[in-house]
Amino acid sequence: MKYVDEFRDPQLARNLLAGIWERSTRPVQFMEFCGGHTHAIFRYGLRQVLPPTVRLRSGPGCPVCVTANGDLDRAIALARLPGVILTTFGDMLKVPGSHGSLQTARAEGADVRMVYSTLDALQMAREHPDRAVIFLGVGFETTAPTVAAAILQAEAEGLDNFTVLSLHKLTPPATRAILDAGEVNLSGIIGPGHVTTLIGSRAWEFLPQEYGVGCAVAGFEPLDILRAVAALVEMAEDGRPTVVNAYSRSVRPEGNRAALEVMERVFEVGEADWRGLGRVPVSGLTLRPEYARFDAALAFPVQPGPTREHKSCRCGDVLRGTIEPPDCPLFRRVCTPAHPIGPCMVSAEGACAAWYQYGE
Amino acid sequence: MSHELVQRLFLRYFDNPILARLDDAAVVGVSGVEFQVSGLPGPKPETRNPKLAFTTDSYVVSPIFFPGGDIGKLAVCGTVNDLAMSGATPLYLSAGFILEEGLPLEELERVVASMAAAAEAASVHIVAGDTKVVDRGKADKLFINTAGVGVVPAGVELGSDRAQPGDVIILSGTIGDHGMTIMSQREGLRFSSPLQSDCAPLHSLVAAMLDTLTPLPLGEGKGVRALHCLRDPTRGGLATTLNEVAIKSGVGIEIDEKAIPVRQAVRAACELLGLDPLYVANEGKLVAFAAPEAADALLAAMHAHEHGREAAIIGRVTAEHTGRVVLRTPLGARRILDMLVSEQLPRIC
Amino acid sequence: MCLGIPARVLEVDRSGLLAMGTVDFGGVTREVCLAYVPEAQVDDYVIVHAGFAISLLDEEEARASLDLLREVGLLEEESGVPLPAPASP
């Protein structure tokens, strides 16, 4: 497939690896911020072919994993309301809230449906005018503009049975929160390729400038990730952190202005609860007052009750990169894909699922 | 939907003298063969008589019609294939229907006609049937439960616990065709593609494989012993089946990812939805574990068969890392290929 | 973080509020929104995420990246750096 197979070429990968092996002398730790990178790194077995001096830690880059229990409980409570069709990406279906998940709610009779796109949710609203279709809006700057567009479309069509529960979050604030916490010393961050396709590589310049941490924005094919690692090794060896765009076929310095304008028109920035990071200021997106009638949190005020967290679940620490999944006491013994305790084990992008699935 | 109406429908499509009697049980003769049902107490003389293979399965696929097949064809092929994986020649099937009130009769007729055609293609007879109608909403249009009986030729000993270190692992064709075809029809995910379910009966493919082994120089009629295990990787996909064999046989399995045939449209659909083809269901494929000296003969026989054109050796059985399946990625790295635990869902992240 | 797949644009319809179009993911086609790639035309390649094209793929950049990697390969062969043997698990 074009733009895929060429970036999986084993020979070019070996070239890159040879360069990394030769150039890397000092032990370094890079965080792959994005769950998509965590998944690709395990799927292609990249950890095994990188030199021992290069250590990769997974970060909070999976919208499923960072969703706070309270927000998930609210979504489950909405799904149980009579007449509601709760539409969601497949990612959120199995995530455990305080009491069960959207999947268990569905088994108990709630109408929970999986969609590939917000536009599919919009279509369901058109086809079921008598039902209240709520879209569970998770995702970062890549996904939020797609939800914003769906809301503008609903407004234009006068659809009054489509609302969104916005749990959208912004990535730079989360990166700051991790670095400010100073719990894990990082010499570099593998930048999320598709978020950066939206916000632009310039958005990461604060990393070298304010934190002395290099950033290499990467795509999701093996060559893309290895190129980013090679660039970060280069920076670490020379002691010159900077921002490198290793996904230039899709990422531009200014990002995607058309998408960001629509996102900013429909959403405003506020504080948000992140699992593992707690309340992070200026890191969440809520619907602006002009679009309040599309806000499911206002349209359906539900009280999901106190949240309950499994006391020894350490997904929060895994998300901050302070521990690796095997360091969690529940990992593999109690917490498994069949009986996930925390979201990092549920989501195919979560670090724990990747470690369990693709092995040590 | 009256009882007589449905009965007349069955008799018209599954017309064979046994069913026509509409007795409570079909009494079927297996000409001149004395049964020795293995695994049960009782006298076990070393008889050369074949063993009886018996299986059951339920089919709840939705939608009930899809490109390349329907719930009826799936029910017959699935049952035939379960029997074929034990080396048996499938002979007789039963089919129990649970119909949702309001299911249009034409849809039931299409399913029953398709079952009859599939039964004929697999040269089996549907000799017992039952129908129950449930209230609207209590079933998703139509569920089918089947049972199947077949006879295992003498000398054939297949099982998930019989794979041995050194065995080659042969896959009969491309993976993921059925699962992704069904996925493409689901509300909220719809995409269009040339994908078709690979739903097909594999009894004749297995027969061809056994026939090609018989004359192998392993002693009188012992050639078939070179074939240790046959499995059809349905729910949970190839990865789950390989893990089951690794665990039951107490062996390790090494697979070369590049060697696994995957259709271009299946690869594209899996990339789109974030799924791994190794975990997607197949309905017309088998994976064989055989002694290395039988590999060439088996491959040739499979390539000569319509359901084995793209057969390929995808890996080996080893004595190391028993109970584990290890995949060699195109980059030469090795990673563990685990069993599918819960249904693989499309994802955006 | 966000699954994005390259696809070739087959049709473009910019008549509605949201520009839409059909794209081919390499054997699988689907209707997606093209509002965020205003300059995309038929036969262009875009990255699609959750039913929306989020960028117009830059063919020169892609070719430049691959050429760069091939040059790196030549350097390695000349400098005789041992290629890493993949570690077993």
Same domain, A114 and A229: no
Lowest mean pLDDT among A94-98, B278-282, C11-15: A94-98
pLDDT confidence of residue B28 = 66
Q: Based on the structure, what is the number of domains in chain C?
A: 1
- Asked if residue B270 has pLDDT above 70, the reply is yes
pLDDT confidence of residue B341 = 73
pLDDT confidence of residue A218 = 97
What separation, in Å, do the N-terminal and C-terminal C-alpha atoms of chain C show? 27
pLDDT confidence of residue B81 = 97
- Asked if residue C83 has pLDDT above 60, the reply is no
- Asked if residue C39 has pLDDT above 50, the reply is yes
Residues B63-101: pLDDT tens digits? Answer: 999 999 999 999 999 999 999 999 999 999 999 999 999
When scoring B187, B325, B339, B347 by the number of chain A Cβ atoms within 10 A, the one with the most, hence best to mutate, is B347
Could you tell me the residue range of the domain that residue C57 belongs to?
Answer: 5-76
Structure tokens at B335: 């990673």
CATH number for the domain spanning C22: value is 2.30.30.140
- Asked if residue B325 has pLDDT above 70, the reply is yes
Residue B30 in contact with partner chain C when CB distance is under 8 A: no
Strand spans (E) along chain A: 28-34, 54-61, 84-88, 111-114, 132-137, 162-166, 188-192, 214-218, 243-245, 267-274, 278-287
For A174, B176, C53, the CA distances from A272, given in Å and listed in that order, are: 10, 40, 27
* A contact residues 186-215, partner C, Cβ 8 Å cutoff: 192-195, 197-198
Assess if residue A190 is contained within a domain: yes
Looking at the complex, report in whole angstroms how far the Cα of residue C21 sits from the nearest Cα belonging to chain B. Answer: 13
- Asked if residue C18 has pLDDT above 50, the reply is yes
pLDDT confidence of residue A349 = 67
pLDDT confidence of residue B30 = 60
Contacts of A89 in chain C (CB under 8 A): 50
Closest chain B residue by Cα to residue C26: B268
Closest chain C residue by Cα to residue A119: C51
Same domain, A8 and A131: no
Assess if residue C85 is contained within a domain: no
B296 C-beta neighbours (distance < 10 Å), count: 12
Residue A358 in contact with partner chain B when CB distance is under 8 A: yes
Which of A122, A129, A130, A124 minimizes the C-alpha distance to A148? Answer: A122
Assess if residue A352 is contained within a domain: yes
Assess if residue A132 is contained within a domain: yes
Domain boundaries, chain B: 2-152, 168-337
- pLDDT band at residue B172 under the 50/70/90 scheme: very high
Q: Cα-flanking dihedrals φ and ψ of residue A266, to 5°?
A: -95, -35
- Asked if residue B241 has pLDDT above 80, the reply is yes
pLDDT confidence of residue A360 = 52
- pLDDT band at residue B114 under the 50/70/90 scheme: very high
The residues, any chain, with a CB within 8 Å of residue A307's CB and separated by 6 or more, are: A68, A69, A70, A73, A97, A98
- Asked if residue B32 has pLDDT above 90, the reply is no
pLDDT confidence of residue B289 = 98
Total residue count of chain C as it appears in this document? 89
Cβ within 8 Å, pair C27-B193 = yes
Residue C49 in contact with partner chain B when CB distance is under 8 A: yes
Q: Based on the structure, what is the number of domains in chain A?
A: 3
Same domain, A199 and A163: no
Same domain, A139 and A279: yes
Cβ within 8 Å, pair C50-A139 = yes
This prediction has a pTM of 0.91
The residues, any chain, with a CB within 8 Å of residue B260's CB and separated by 6 or more, are: B171, B175, B238, B277, B278, B312, B314
- Asked if residue B10 has pLDDT above 70, the reply is yes
Q: Provide mean pLDDT across the span B215-230.
A: 82
Could you tell me the residue range of the domain that residue A337 belongs to?
Answer: 315-358
- pLDDT band at residue B46 under the 50/70/90 scheme: very low
CATH number for the domain spanning A157: value is 3.40.50.11740
Q: Provide mean pLDDT across the span C11-37.
A: 96
pLDDT confidence of residue B19 = 75
Same domain, A191 and A47: yes
Cβ within 8 Å, pair C54-A4 = no
Same domain, A219 and A267: no
Same domain, A158 and A176: no
Same domain, A77 and A138: yes
C-beta separation of A78 from A286 below 8 A: no
pLDDT confidence of residue A123 = 96
Looking at the complex, report in whole angstroms how far the Cα of residue B317 sits from the nearest Cα belonging to chain C. Answer: 16
For the domain B168-337, what is the CATH superfamily, name and number? PurM-like C-terminal domain (3.90.650.10)
Which of A350, A203, A220 minimizes the C-alpha distance to A276? Answer: A350
Same domain, A176 and A154: no
Assess if residue A310 is contained within a domain: no
Same domain, A179 and A164: no
Same domain, A351 and A219: no
Pick the CATH number of B2-152 from 3.30.70.1290, 3.40.1190.10, 3.30.1330.10, 3.60.40.10: 3.30.1330.10
- Asked if residue C84 has pLDDT above 50, the reply is no
When scoring A20, A54, A116, A250 by the number of chain C Cβ atoms within 10 A, the one with the most, hence best to mutate, is A250
Assess if residue C50 is contained within a domain: yes
Assess if residue A300 is contained within a domain: no
Domain-ending residue, one of A225, A245, A265: A245
Pairing of strands A188-192, A214-218: parallel
Ranges of residues in chain A with a pLDDT under 50 are none
Assess if residue C58 is contained within a domain: yes
Same domain, A177 and A163: no
Strand spans (E) along B31-141: 51-59, 65-66, 69-70, 89-100, 125-134
pLDDT confidence of residue C82 = 44
CATH number for the domain spanning A216: value is 3.40.50.11750
Cβ within 8 Å, pair C25-B192 = no
Looking at per-residue pLDDT, the higher value among C81 and B203 belongs to B203
C-beta separation of B335 from B329 below 8 A: yes
ipTM: 0.91
pLDDT confidence of residue B243 = 95
